[in-house]
């Protein structure tokens, strides 16, 4: 198992390298912009050629692009330094560190709700095919797949406010000081995000259960005289969950995108808001930093997903190749 | 029970719904399982097909009964219908009786049939590679029938598992029990399946092509093992196979199936030495034999197994039959008794043409 | 050598013959397909109907709502839905029905343009990577791996922040984004087709690589590509509206459904909830229709996933006790 983990970690290195090149490349596509913007914003519009050169040197933009990349990477790897915000005197890392917990809590809660809804309903739907419950589950899934979460979020903000004057709370209390208050803030946003995610998972769970229930080993389980509950819960679900976990891995980037939107709707000061503010202000170090952190986060989750494989699938656990 | 007196003679109940009662006179061996007129259909988008069409046969205590036929002949579906292991939908058993030890399995509730499965009747499936659950260890899978059907505690289940693995000749059982199916070879998996089947000492074991997926060398070992173990436990066995070589050595009696019907039945000796149905004859001629001294050449059966949703009129075998006569194209022959132990469903008298 | 040329010539003539019969049968097969869709997948047929309505609305937007999407009329601010303004009006007095209809046009332009671009990118990367294989494949796949690590929306936001907002930019970025992600599917299909004997046969007869790609591989990966295309249409519409919702997609006054829902208009939505309901509903119905049609298409083109798992407890439904027969 540990060997498996190590292999996975090693396999991550080239991906990480490519990802960093993508981040660096995409953001530096038009480096001139930053300078022009800084100069204009700082009333240096009429400034001499000298100040521009000075600024260029200060930001390290005068060096060839690969040197810039190497310097940037060196700072990240050796010092964990993502640079400083262009406009505020804060480091990118501390800005991200401040916002990340909010995004993580929103994301994890959403994932929790998504699985809480999707897995049982998906199982039920497959085991009791063509029953009322199956149809209700599938209809929900079909509808939820089509409803964009920003529309659902907008409606949840607008309609209750119109009808009952209710607005979702958004004063975030630290979780460990008053967990209830804290969860209250996240409940509605994560339910919306979770419900929209659950549609895909539910579908997958149902399909995989149907697939697994057709397998020979399920027939063997029936032939042993096991009650249906045991056949389904012990023999089928575990097998069906393996591909569903792959799907969860695929969904994490989508979930991340969803948090950006939901944060915006419910005015939660997470990573998404940081990014959007940085985009408006053209604060490239922050954009770069968030971009990179998002990628690393997704890779970490994928690693966790791989570990879950190990727990569920003995073939992965025992393979020592 | 459907003991029709006319079943004695060369009776002919119309169509293929032939009454196949064993002679009930005298000291007939006691029957464990009596299947009458079993009919299983599968519904599909545009109708249904009859996979098992009025099959009747008996299994006597302690005997090994073989059901032989090409794939698609309905032999596996027959076996699975006995335990009602037919996926539903689309499958459905629409007619028949399966009397096992005084109960009609088709009349039992889901709960009652569950108590029989794995306990009194065990099944061993064709594909050892896919019939074991990849995410559960061997101990759990072998122990499971005992977990539900017996009052044993964990320790005693474990001990019995070790014992069972020994019986199926898997070395180092304690260690092997903790392994997962993918760590086993095909032969070992099939041994584990057999151990699983034996766990509750069933009265009847249904082995559905137990060796098809295995290497030839392993095949013989597994069959010997099955034979020995059923003998030791005084169990009966239904051996389903397409392989006549297997049947010859291990079965006491043989049912030959074609298109969901039994077309010939007899003791192994009778069937091998005096096949009376052209299909049985065809099956035997299409198997290469080493001691082929009598000069018979290999002669495969022409054509394909029939499309069950679109059977020809008359005898379902006639399009592939080299002896087919006009009558074969018009009416379906009933299963009629030729001698004490020999039955066939064919208009042609093979002895004339052989 | 002469053998080889004879071989390939006969292959190509056989192909030509095949091609002819295919085109002759095409119309017939289309009608047959529609028939199957309606009979076997009624929900898919319903989705197809929505798609047709959507495309029709988009194409004839200027006929259906001739006043255009930006007819500002200060006197008609925030009017509730009425006979005159079916969907009501917005804060600038623009008719919401007209904006929604023109929004359909915008959506399908972006959807078709970006999806087509993405499919081309997917096909080029996927076929090249899968067919050439080896080190080239590995390098490309590592790049795709890296790219796929990033959440779609983050890439979109960053890219638009670099390129600036605008319809063209959105199409370009969406095409690139989905194109790279989709190349995996095409590559997988190519790899599985590549091993087929007929490709080996064509190779051994001396057919050129390009010829094999076009004649043998492309037609065989068409089914997954078509399915990919439909699912991508919905994804592109959702992504564009999401971006525009955040104010980073297609800038106002263009009537992007997502943009109409954006936070800028939120204050007015409390007074005029139709502003929040109508564009979202249009978006949902469009995505729903495309999804349903896409699903049906996949089931009909790739029938492997059909049929259900039973419960292995056979239903016993005897007509009459056997003893009475």
Average of pLDDT values for A134-148?
A: 89
The rounded percent of chain C whose pLDDT value lies above 90 is 12
- Listed in sequence order, the DSSP H helices in chain C are 2-40, 42-59, 61-64, 96-132, 134-148, 152-163, 167-194, 197-204, 209-211, 218-220, 222-245, 257-260, 266-271, 274-301
Say yes or no: A259 and A133 in one domain: yes
Range name among A203-217, B105-119, B218-232, B297-311 with the lowest pLDDT average: B297-311
- The domain tally of chain C equals 1
> Which CATH number do you get for residue A255?
1.10.3720.10
Q: What angle do CA A276, A278, A281 make, to 5 degrees?
A: 115
Chain C residues in contact with A19 by the CB 8 A cut-off are: 146-147, 149-150
pLDDT at A321 over 90: no
pLDDT at B295 over 50: yes
pLDDT digits (tens, 9 = 90+) for C93-121: 788 888 888 988 898 899 999 999 998 99
- The domain tally of chain A equals 2
pLDDT band at C295 (very low <50, low <70, confident <90, very high): confident
pLDDT band at B3 (very low <50, low <70, confident <90, very high): very low
What homologous superfamily is domain B16-120+202-353 in, according to CATH? Answer: P-loop containing nucleotide triphosphate hydrolases (3.40.50.300)
pLDDT of res. C25:
59
Taking alpha carbons only, the member of A206, A189, A186, A203 closest to residue A144 is A203
Average of pLDDT values for B210-234?
A: 82
User: Distance, in angstroms, between A251 CA and closest chain C CA?
Assistant: 9
**Helix (H, G, I), strand (E, B), or coil: what is residue B13?**
coil
pLDDT at C14 over 50: no
User: Distance, in angstroms, between A304 CA and closest chain B CA?
Assistant: 19
Q: Taking all residues of chain C, what is their mean pLDDT, rounded to a whole number? A: 78
Say yes or no: A185 and A254 in one domain: yes
pLDDT at B117 over 70: yes
pLDDT at A319 over 60: no
pLDDT digits (tens, 9 = 90+) for B265-294: 999 888 888 888 888 888 888 777 665 555
pLDDT of res. A123:
93
pLDDT of res. A246:
84
Q: How far is CA B261 from CA B59, B307, B346, C183, C255, in A?
A: 17, 14, 12, 52, 69
Q: Which residues of chain C are at the B interface, by a Cβ-Cβ cutoff of 8 Å?
A: 40, 307-319, 322-323, 325
Asked if residue A86 belongs to a domain, the reply is no
pLDDT band at B303 (very low <50, low <70, confident <90, very high): confident
pLDDT at B25 over 60: no
Chain B residues in contact with C324 by the CB 8 A cut-off are: none
Q: Is C310's CB within 8 Å of B106's CB?
A: no
Average of pLDDT values for B154-161?
A: 91
User: Distance, in angstroms, between A270 CA and closest chain C CA?
Assistant: 14
pLDDT at C224 over 80: no
> Please, where in chain B does CATH 3.40.50.300 lie?
16-120+202-353
Average of pLDDT values for B320-341?
A: 84
Chain B (173-232) residues lying within 8 Å, Cβ to Cβ, of chain A: 180, 182-183, 193, 196
**ipTM for the predicted complex:** 0.83
Last residue of a domain, one of A44, A79, A114: A79
Asked if residue A84 belongs to a domain, the reply is no
Judge whether C114 and C182 are in contact, CB under 8 Å: no
More confident residue, C4 or B185: B185
Q: CA–CA separation, A107 vs C151, rounded Å?
A: 13
Strands (E) located in B112-189: 121-124
Say yes or no: A169 and A40 in one domain: no
- What kind and span of H or E run contains C316? strand C315-316
Q: How far is CA C3 from CA C6, C8, C9, C204, C206, in A?
A: 5, 9, 10, 11, 10
Q: Taking all residues of chain B, what is their mean pLDDT, rounded to a whole number? A: 82
Q: Taking all residues of chain A, what is their mean pLDDT, rounded to a whole number? A: 83
Q: CA–CA separation, A260 vs A321, rounded Å?
A: 41
Specify the pTM.
0.80
pLDDT of res. A104:
92
Chain A residues in contact with C158 by the CB 8 A cut-off are: 26-27, 279, 287, 291
Tell me which of C54, C152, C162, C264 to substitute to probe the interface with A (most A C-beta atoms closer than 10 Å).
C162
pLDDT of res. A42:
57
Chain A residues in contact with C163 by the CB 8 A cut-off are: 30
Asked if residue C11 belongs to a domain, the reply is no
Q: How far is CA B187 from CA B170, B228, C235, in A?
A: 10, 17, 49
pLDDT digits (tens, 9 = 90+) for A261-304: 999 898 899 999 999 988 888 787 888 888 888 888 888 888 88
**Helix (H, G, I), strand (E, B), or coil: what is residue B262?**
strand
The rounded percent of chain B whose pLDDT value lies above 90 is 16
Judge whether A261 and A189 are in contact, CB under 8 Å: no
Last residue of a domain, one of A46, A79, A112: A79
Chain C CB within 8 Å of residue A179 CB: no
pLDDT at B21 over 50: no
Chain B adjacent subunits, 3+ CB pairs under 8 A: A, C
Tell me which of A126, A131, A217, A243 to substitute to probe the interface with B (most B C-beta atoms closer than 10 Å).
A217
Last residue of a domain, one of A79, A109, A131: A79
Q: Which domain holds residue A68?
A: 2-79
pLDDT band at B8 (very low <50, low <70, confident <90, very high): very low
pLDDT of res. B236:
92
* DSSP 8-state class, residue B70: -
Q: Which of B115, B130, B145 sits opposite A215 (nearest CB)?
A: B130
User: Distance, in angstroms, between B313 CA and closest chain A CA?
Assistant: 34
């Amino acid at each position: 198992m540990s060997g498996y983990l190590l292999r996975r970690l090693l396999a991550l290195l080239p991906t990480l390298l490519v990802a960093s090149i993508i981040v660096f490349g995409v953001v530096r596509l038009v480096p001139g912009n930053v300078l022009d913007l800084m100069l204009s914003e700082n009333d240096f519009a009429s400034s001499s050629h000298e100040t521009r050169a000075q600024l260029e040197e200060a930001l390290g933009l005068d060096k060839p692009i690969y040197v810039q990349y190497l310097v940037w990477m060196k700072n990240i790897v050796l010092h964990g330094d993502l640079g400083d915000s262009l406009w505020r005197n804060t480091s990118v890392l501390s800005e991200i560190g401040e916002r990340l917990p909010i995004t993580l809590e929103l994301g994890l809660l959403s994932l929790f709700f998504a699985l809480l809804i999707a897995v049982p309903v998906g199982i039920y739907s497959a085991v009791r095919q063509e029953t009322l419950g199956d149809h209700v589950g599938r209809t929900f899934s079909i509808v939820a797949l089509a409803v964009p979460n920003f529309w659902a979020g907008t409606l949840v903000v607008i309609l209750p406010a119109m009808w009952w004057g209710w607005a979702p709370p958004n004063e975030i209390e630290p979780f460990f000081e008053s967990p209830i208050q804290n969860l209250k803030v996240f409940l509605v946003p994560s339910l919306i995000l979770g419900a929209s995610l659950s549609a895909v998972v539910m579908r997958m769970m149902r399909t995989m259960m149907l697939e697994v229930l057709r397998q020979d080993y399920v027939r063997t389980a029936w032939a042993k005289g096991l009650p249906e509950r045991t056949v389904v819960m012990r023999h089928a679900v575990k097998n069906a969950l393996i591909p569903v976990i792959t799907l969860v891995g695929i969904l994490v980037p989508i979930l991340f995108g969803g948090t950006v939107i939901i944060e915006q709707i419910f005015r939660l000061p997470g990573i998404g808001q940081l990014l959007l503010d940085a985009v408006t202000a053209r604060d490239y170090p922050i954009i770069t930093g968030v971009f990179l952190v998002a990628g690393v986060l997704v890779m970490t989750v994928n690693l966790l997903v791989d570990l879950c494989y190990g727990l569920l699938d003995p073939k992965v656990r025992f393979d020592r190749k | 029970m459907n003991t029709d007196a006319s079943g004695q003679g060369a009776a002919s109940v119309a169509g293929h719904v032939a009454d196949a009662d064993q002679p009930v006179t005298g000291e007939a061996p006691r029957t464990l399982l009596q299947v009458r007129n079993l009919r299983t259909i599968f519904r599909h988008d545009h109708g249904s097909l009859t996979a098992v069409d009025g099959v009747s046969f008996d299994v006597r205590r302690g005997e090994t009964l073989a059901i032989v036929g090409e794939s698609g002949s309905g032999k596996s579906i027959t076996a699975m219908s006995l335990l009602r292991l037919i996926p539903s939908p689309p499958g459905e058993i629409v007619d028949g009786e399966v009397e096992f030890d005084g109960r009609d399995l088709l009349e039992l509730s889901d709960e009652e049939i569950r108590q029989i499965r794995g306990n009194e009747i065990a099944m061993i499936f064709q594909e050892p590679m896919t019939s074991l659950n990849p995410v559960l260890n061997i101990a759990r899978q072998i122990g499971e029938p005992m977990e539900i059907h017996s009052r044993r505690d964990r320790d005693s289940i474990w001990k019995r598992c070790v014992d069972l693995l020994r019986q199926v000749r898997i070395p180092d059982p304690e260690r092997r029990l903790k392994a997962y199916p993918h760590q086993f070879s095909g032969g070992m998996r099939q041994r584990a399946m057999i151990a699983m089947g034996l766990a509750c000492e069933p009265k009847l074991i249904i082995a559905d092509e137990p060796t098809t997926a295995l290497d030839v060398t392993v095949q013989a070992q597994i069959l010997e093992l099955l034979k020995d173990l059923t003998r030791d436990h005084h169990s009966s066995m239904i051996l389903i196979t397409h392989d006549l070589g297997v049947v010859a050595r291990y079965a006491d009696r043989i049912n030959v199936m074609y298109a969901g019907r039994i077309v010939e039945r007899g003791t192994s000796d009778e069937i091998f030495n005096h096949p009376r149905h052209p299909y049985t004859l065809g099956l035997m001629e299409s198997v290469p034999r080493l001691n082929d001294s009598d000069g018979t050449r290999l002669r495969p059966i022409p054509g394909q197994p029939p499309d069950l949703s679109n059977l020809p009129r008359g005898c379902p075998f006639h399009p592939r039959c080299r002896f087919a006569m006009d009558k074969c194209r018009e009416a379906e022959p009933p299963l009629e008794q030729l001698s004490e132990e020999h039955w066939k469903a064919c208009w042609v008298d093979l002895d004339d043409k052989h | 050598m002469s053998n080889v040329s004879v071989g390939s010539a006969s292959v190509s003539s056989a192909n030509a013959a095949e091609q002819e019969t295919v085109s002759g049968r095409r119309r017939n097969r289309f009608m047959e397909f529609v028939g199957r869709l309606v009979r076997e997948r009624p929900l898919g047929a319903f989705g197809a109907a929505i798609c047709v309505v959507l495309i029709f609305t988009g194409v004839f937007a200027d006929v259906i709502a001739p006043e255009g999407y930006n007819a500002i009329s200060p006197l008609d601010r925030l009017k509730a839905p009425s006979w005159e303004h079916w969907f009501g009006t917005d804060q600038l007095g623009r008719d919401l029905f007209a904006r929604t209809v023109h929004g359909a046009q915008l959506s399908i332009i972006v959807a078709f343009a970006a999806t087509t671009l993405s499919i081309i990118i997917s096909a080029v990367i996927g076929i090249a990577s899968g067919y050439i294989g080896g080190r080239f494949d590995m390098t490309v796949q590592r790049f795709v791996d890296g790219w796929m690590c990033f959440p779609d929306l983050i890439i979109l936001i960053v890219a638009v922040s670099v390129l600036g907002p605008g319809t063209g930019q959105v199409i370009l970025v969406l095409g690139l984004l989905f194109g790279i992600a989709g190349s995996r599917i095409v590559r997988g299909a190519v790899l599985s087709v590549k091993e087929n004997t007929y490709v080996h046969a064509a190779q051994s007869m001396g057919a050129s690589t390009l010829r094999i790609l076009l004649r043998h591989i492309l037609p065989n990966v068409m089914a997954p590509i078509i399915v990919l295309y439909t699912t991508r249409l919905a994804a592109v519409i959702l992504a564009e509206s999401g971006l525009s919702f955040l104010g980073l997609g297609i800038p106002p006054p263009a009537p992007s459904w997502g943009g109409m829902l954006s936070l800028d208009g939120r204050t007015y939505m409390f007074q005029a909830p139709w502003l929040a309901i109508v564009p979202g509903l249009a978006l949902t119905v469009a995505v729903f229709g495309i999804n349903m049609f896409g699903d049906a298409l996949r089931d009909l083109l790739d029938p492997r996933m059909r049929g259900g798992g039973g419960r292995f407890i056979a239903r016993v439904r005897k007509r009459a006790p056997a003893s009475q027969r």
